[in-house]
Amino acid sequence: MDRGPMRRRLDLVFVPMVERETGRRIEVPYPDPRRYDWREVNGKRYLYDRLDDAVMEEAFFLETVKRLSSLPTYDQQPKIKDATAYVEGRRETIRCKLLGQKSDATFQSPSEEFLRALPADTHAFVILSLDLVGSTTRATASPLTEYARTMQAVLGEVGDVLPLFHGHVLKHTGDGVIAYFASPGFITKHDLAIDCALTLRLLIYSGFNPVLRELGWKELDMRIGLDSGEIAVIPIGSATTKQEKDLIGEVVSLACKIQGRAPTGGIALGDEMLRNLHTQWREICEELPLASEWRFKDPHFGRPYAVHLVKANDWPDHDENASDAMQPNPRADTTRERQ
């Protein structure tokens, strides 16, 4: 499994200090104490990463911080501040869409425009795969109009949420979506992607299902899988009929496989995705036991590729009351990410 170079995230907090010589207030980068300890071995200081069980020499840490300080800062923030308020504000629109009283705006494809602008090369992406559980049963058990309006409304609302977190729809899978989060900030897009996944989950269970209950229609369930790595951006198809740029690579298919490992209502992450999340996100994840048929290997360590679950109580029926516990807010933290 060729995933490109292994990347590790360095989480810093910026501690306010006063320069002794000038009296000027400055902020000094320091390893996030929720994740790191300083340890001494044979007279040398090492920074120990408790989450990754890895060490870094002090000199290497200082050189890394110095190098990062010279790089441009990418501060891609979500375009919404409160996922619960957003979902609650969409319920009336969801109701109108389900009843056929509202249609989406004129068709546009920002994703195609974005991919066309990228050179045909490999790039680092986060891939999100969302699947609506039980859609085949719904299709056969529900009236066609009810099923069609539900799929149209769900996929439309999901497509509206993704750009709020700087994500794009790659393709629809009939009963789900494959989406991607791209540069410029490699680290930032991991946090944006998990934030988006939690908002999408909230949209289904706290946005759609209350309205579906009111209408007497069958409620929805979902799973989400996320992973990241190097992906090739290439044109596919024939220039004489239809040609478009697509994302090709094992990360895309693996994100779909990881989604299948999640419980109903769950969000599952590949190990590469987990390694590059902010500490606050990692604190709400736990490793899933791997099934005997799981054949994917970690390209960096040779062991079975680990899958992690975003922890939450009482899957799958979290409603608004659980949303605060599910969504920590690392963007309110003092950590600054540099790519």
pLDDT digit string (tens) for the chain, length 339 residues: 556 667 778 888 888 887 777 878 878 888 999 999 999 988 889 999 999 888 999 888 888 887 777 666 666 789 988 999 999 999 999 999 999 887 666 556 666 666 666 666 667 889 999 999 987 777 777 888 888 999 999 999 999 999 999 999 988 988 899 999 987 666 789 999 999 999 999 999 999 999 999 999 989 999 999 999 888 877 777 777 776 777 888 889 899 999 999 999 999 999 999 999 999 899 999 999 987 788 888 877 878 899 999 986 544 444 443 333 344 444 333 333 333
Is 338 domain-assigned? no
Q: Could you say which of 25, 41, 69 is where a domain stops? A: 69
Any domain includes 216: yes
Does 120 lie in the same domain as 24?
no
Q: 196 and 110, same structural domain?
A: yes
Domain-embedded: residue 301:
yes
Q: 164 and 54 in one domain? A: no
pTM of the predicted protein model: 0.80
- Provide the number of structural domains found in the chain: 2
CATH of residue 277's domain is 3.30.70.1230
- State how far the Cα of 176 lies from the Cα of 223, in Å rounded to an integer: 9
8 A C-beta contact, residue 128 and residue 178: yes
Q: Verify that 307 and 232 share a domain, yes or no.
A: yes
**Domain boundary, last residue among 69, 96, 112:** 69
Closest alpha carbon to 175 in 140, 206, 130, 218: 130
* pLDDT value of position 73: 61
Q: Hey, what amino acid is at 282?
A: R
Is 78 among the domain residues?
no
Model pLDDT, residue 116: 63
251 in any annotated domain = yes
Q: Give the per-residue pLDDT at 124.
A: 82
Q: Where are the beta strands (DSSP E) in the chain?
A: 12-18, 25-31, 36-41, 44-49, 54-57, 122-133, 167-172, 176-181, 221-237, 243-248, 267-270, 285-287, 307-310
| Torsion over CA: 136, 141, 144, 149 (sign) | negative
93 and 34 in a single domain? The answer is no
**186-202 vs 144-161: helix crossing angle, rounded to 10:** 150
- Give the whole-angstrom CA distance, residue 166 versus residue 51: 27
Domain check: are 61 and 98 in the same one? no
Give residue 206's domain range. 83-332
Tell whether 107 and 216 lie within a shared domain.
yes
Same domain, residue pair 49 and 162: no
Inside any domain, residue 3: no
18 shares its domain with 90:
no
- Residues 55 and 103 placed together within one structural domain of the fold: no
Whether 163 and 271 map to the same domain: the answer is yes
Same-domain status, 236 and 98: yes
Q: Is residue 113 part of a domain?
A: yes
Q: Is residue 214 one of the residues assigned to a domain?
A: yes
Rounded CA Rg of the chain: 22
